[in-house]
Structure 1
Amino acid sequence: MIKAKRSFHFLWSGQTFGNLGDILYIICLITLVYKETGSVLHMALIPFAKTMSLLVSGFIAPIFIEKYRRYTLLTITLTLKTILLLLLCLLASYGIDTQITYILLYILIIIISMLEGIGNPARRSMIPDLVKEEELVKANSFISITNQTSMLLSWPLGSILLVVWGEQNMLWLTFGLFLISSTLTAQIQIGEVDNNEQQNDSKWNTIKEGWHLIFQSKKLTTLTLMDVLENFGHGVWIAAILYVYVDTAIGKGEEWWGYINAAFFAGMMVAGIVVYRFSKKMEPHLGLVIMTSTLCLLGLNLWFGLTSSAWAALLVSFIFGFPQMARDVSQNTLIQQTYRDKQLAKVYASHGTLVYGTFGIATLVLGWFAEEYGIRATYMLVSAMFLLSYIIAFTNRKVLHTNRQSDAFHQAN
């Protein structure tokens, strides 16, 4: 267990450095492209290319998960990301003022993002192998804390570093972060058994397996339906819609846009600490935590959408992180209790495709809806999504409360 505990520390610390590198290099590239081209469209294409690449890579990830051990897949993808970021640094030093260099820049962004999407399910599926089952909630909340902390720190840190060091020096820093992430991850020791029974299956059957595993478990089917609705609802928290909300709903300037965003991430970070503290008490009641959290999120979206007080909006933005964090940690734990090893990695790959796809559609649909019917009506629509999600949870409450012995874990073994 000592080796497993050490390996878990290598897993989360490697992920933390990788997360910092991922956000900082995107901030850097957005600034670099805007300075070189002066085009807002070209600047916006960077996060769009990253999101679409993650969507596609989640779809094809099961093929690589089936072929390689999870540790091997994770270390290979991280090493390749580090090498490609080195090429990106060299390209930025050369300059992206020609059409060829500009195209090369986007090719590198797409490949780096696809490697991230292939490696992430392998990393997430390792957690149950590196901690005791009774510590899963605590482990998931701890990883969530580090993720939210890195996200909270990355944006202001990135802005400061851009001013102090400039884009090219900052890119070299992100290369160093990726190098540290790869080195730490390579120290993980995990016992894996190769399963070659499905090696002769077609690639399409391998891709479908993650979806099949989700829908053969009533618990995961319920969580998936809830995720579709709630991830769609999370589209109202993107920067563009919040910007309109600040201007039209609470009548404040751009600075409040920043305050509300900062409050949201700060709330998620503090919530992670609270969930970590009470993880033992949460563990026997994960289904109830998910149902209660969904009901709280419904109420908070209603409050946020109807209020005209900037301070109330700031408070809601901070509080929002508590039920959201509790729900995410509980859901992760339930998924990890249902499947293991490569099956769990494939479930995460399919789930990631669903998350990115739903959120991508939501940003377009909710943007159109806000323009046509107003920002308050948009939050009412989202609240209806959360209400429907709660109804699904309540209808299937017995399924959410079942333990792993009565669920698909034994079906899969």
Structure 2
Amino acid sequence: MSTGSGADSAPAPTTHDTKNSARTSMFSSLRIRNYRLFAAGAVVSNTGTWMARITQDWLVLSLTGSSAAVGVTTAMQFLPMLLFGLYGGVIADRFAKRNLLFVTQGAMGLGGLFLAAMTLSGHVEVWHVYLTAFFTGLVTVVDNPARQSFVPELVGPDQVRNAVSLNSANFQSARLIGPAVAGVLTAAVGPGWAFLANGLSFLAPITGLLLMRTGELTPTPLAPRRGKGQLREGLAYVRVHPELIWPIVLIGFIGTFGFNFPIWLSAYADDVFHGGSGLYAAFTTLMAAGSLIGALLAARRRSSRLRMLTATAGLFGVALVAVAAVPSAYVFAALLLPVGALGLTVNVTANSSVQMATDPEMRGRVMSLFMMVFVGGTPFGGPLFGWLTDAYGVRVSFAVGGLVVALASLGVGLILARTAGLRLRVDLRRGRRVVAFVPREGLASGPRARVGALR
């Protein structure tokens, strides 16, 4: 993202693509060699991560019998992002992204190997899982903004949206494979081998980084190593750009209240439908399949619109409320496909719209704020919805999360419309039935015009 140079210098979504390029743009970023290496390494490590995540959640549930304990594990993993997330963005803006990724990917591999050693030796306890989750969270504080802001260096500004969407598709593809492999490994030889596979999987992205042609990267200017006020500069930049701050606020609500699926799906599988770890893995796989569909559809779009973000977020919240009361395991499983697609569309649209509306020099700090808000609410949301699940049942917990997301989407949508100088027009006369936002008279230039251009 950006420096403090102002809104007018921020890159806007391209609008000049031809119809032919729209048809062939779904995988266009993969034509770039360095991005292919990045994506290939990521799909291997992401598969290992999902193997470990599914196994970790089920291991904690097996050791404690408590959904709240699963929520604590999730909270431990994301608490560092809440506490230190903005500093990770400062680090990402100060150092070469590729060098940072060597360190962070290696550290994550070591964390996986530690948990594998404890589990395979038969000495694993819940606090070992908590410790590993917290360590992984600390590393992620730097890894997330470094990876997010490394993408434009790999593909250039014209392919940022496509690459962000393909990154999500990559992650969701691994989410399809990882739980299935984890379920087979856990049933056949125990959970320790899934953790071992995760630790070794980080060799793939490290190898990809080594093989990259550094001369083909387009590095962004680095912030001074010892510059003062860089953190405040990033916060001030976001504060005066409504096209950044309100999508970040919305994604914070969604991350805190709408993305507690490890708690919800494990409870549905165990307490509601009595299917055990196999059903939990199946639910997670179906969510991933829906998310993959959403990511591939997002890769075809040529721009990120804020109205798409708020509308999809609202539909996501409504879908959670509707699915919460489904009595059949088969219907519940089938509905996880559209839920996953909607959730992923929200994430990709928010991510790419923020990236494309931010100046390059600020990208690490802005994306660290984005990720901090998105996952930093989990230390609150995880224990809260774990407690709601234990106390009132998972159906109530699921519905409450969806209701909050829907209301937050409505509120942010109205604020963005007002900021963009729009008003709601309702015309229900016969043959004219129209409900739409239209420009107010006298829409001025400046921040309102800028948000209006992005709508």
TM over 0.5: yes
- In the other structure, the counterpart of 1:329 is 348
CA contact (8 A) 2:115 2:132 kept: yes
Q: Does 1:297 align with 2:311?
A: no
- Give the Cα separation in 2 of the matches to 1:216 and 1:407: 12
Q: Does 1:13 align with 2:37?
A: no
- In the other structure, the counterpart of 2:264 is 241
Out of 151-160 and 65-74, give the one that drifted further: 65-74
- In the other structure, the counterpart of 1:154 is 178
The alpha carbon displacement at 1:392 in A equals 1.7
Q: Does 1:353 align with 2:360?
A: no
- Give the secondary structure class of the aligned counterpart of 2:218: coil
In structure 2, do the counterparts of structure 1 residues 382 and 108 end up closer, same or farther at CA, with 3 Å as the change threshold? closer
- In the other structure, the counterpart of 1:78 is 105
The alpha carbon displacement at 1:106 in A equals 6.1
Q: Does 1:288 align with 2:320?
A: no
What per-residue deviation string (whole Å, max 9, x for no partner) do you get for residues 55-97 of structure 1?
4452431342244222221122223434555566666666647
- In the other structure, the counterpart of 1:411 is none
- Give the secondary structure class of the aligned counterpart of 1:396: helix
- In the other structure, the counterpart of 1:266 is 289
- Give the secondary structure class of the aligned counterpart of 1:320: helix
CA contact (8 A) 1:244 1:375 kept: no
- Give the Cα separation in 2 of the matches to 1:107 and 1:384: 31
In structure 2, do the counterparts of structure 1 residues 131 and 310 end up closer, same or farther at CA, with 3 Å as the change threshold? same
In structure 2, do the counterparts of structure 1 residues 4 and 240 end up closer, same or farther at CA, with 3 Å as the change threshold? closer
- In the other structure, the counterpart of 2:410 is 390
- In the other structure, the counterpart of 1:220 is 244
The alpha carbon displacement at 1:21 in A equals 2.7
- In the other structure, the counterpart of 1:279 is 301
Q: Which amino acid in the other structure matches residue 100 of structure 2?
A: L
The alpha carbon displacement at 1:403 in A equals 12
In structure 2, do the counterparts of structure 1 residues 403 and 148 end up closer, same or farther at CA, with 3 Å as the change threshold? farther
The alpha carbon displacement at 1:267 in A equals 1.2
The alpha carbon displacement at 1:157 in A equals 0.3
The alpha carbon displacement at 1:173 in A equals 3.1
Q: Which amino acid in the other structure matches residue 264 of structure 1?
A: M
Going by fraction, where is helix more abundant, 1 or 2?
Answer: 1
Out of 163-172 and 208-217, give the one that drifted further: 163-172
- Give the secondary structure class of the aligned counterpart of 1:185: helix
The alpha carbon displacement at 1:325 in A equals 2.4
- Give the Cα separation in 2 of the matches to 1:32 and 1:373: 21
Out of 153-162 and 15-24, give the one that drifted further: 15-24
- Give the Cα separation in 2 of the matches to 1:298 and 1:109: 28
What per-residue deviation string (whole Å, max 9, x for no partner) do you get for residues 171-195 of structure 1?
4433331112211123343233554
In structure 2, do the counterparts of structure 1 residues 208 and 130 end up closer, same or farther at CA, with 3 Å as the change threshold? same
In structure 2, do the counterparts of structure 1 residues 326 and 174 end up closer, same or farther at CA, with 3 Å as the change threshold? closer
- Give the secondary structure class of the aligned counterpart of 2:32: helix
CA RMSD of aligned residues (A): 4.1
- Give the Cα separation in 2 of the matches to 1:170 and 1:279: 36
1:318 aligned residue (330, 334, 337) = 337
CA contact (8 A) 1:57 1:117 kept: yes
Alignment of 1:194-213 (within 5 A): 194-197=221-224, 199-201=226-228, 205-213=229-237
List gaps (5 residues or longer) in structure 2: 1-27, 423-444
In structure 2, do the counterparts of structure 1 residues 403 and 268 end up closer, same or farther at CA, with 3 Å as the change threshold? farther
Alignment of 1:50-65 (within 5 A): 50-65=77-92
Alignment of 1:121-200 (within 5 A): 121-167=145-191, 169-188=193-212, 189=214, 190-192=217-219, 194-197=221-224, 199-200=226-227
Out of 394-403 and 344-353, give the one that drifted further: 394-403
The alpha carbon displacement at 1:303 in A equals 2.0
- Give the secondary structure class of the aligned counterpart of 2:258: helix
What per-residue deviation string (whole Å, max 9, x for no partner) do you get for residues 251-293 of structure 1?
64336655544332221122223333x323xx2x622321331
CA contact (8 A) 1:84 1:112 kept: yes
CA contact (8 A) 1:233 1:386 kept: no
- Give the Cα separation in 1 of the matches to 2:197 and 2:410: 44
- Give the Cα separation in 1 of the matches to 2:311 and 2:340: 14
- In the other structure, the counterpart of 1:379 is 399
- In the other structure, the counterpart of 1:115 is 139
Percent sequence identity over matched residues? 14
CA contact (8 A) 1:267 1:320 kept: yes
In structure 2, do the counterparts of structure 1 residues 257 and 32 end up closer, same or farther at CA, with 3 Å as the change threshold? closer
What per-residue deviation string (whole Å, max 9, x for no partner) do you get for residues 329-383 of structure 1?
2211111112244511111212222222323312333344453598348615632
- Give the secondary structure class of the aligned counterpart of 1:339: coil
The alpha carbon displacement at 1:22 in A equals 2.5
List gaps (5 residues or longer) in structure 1: 409-413
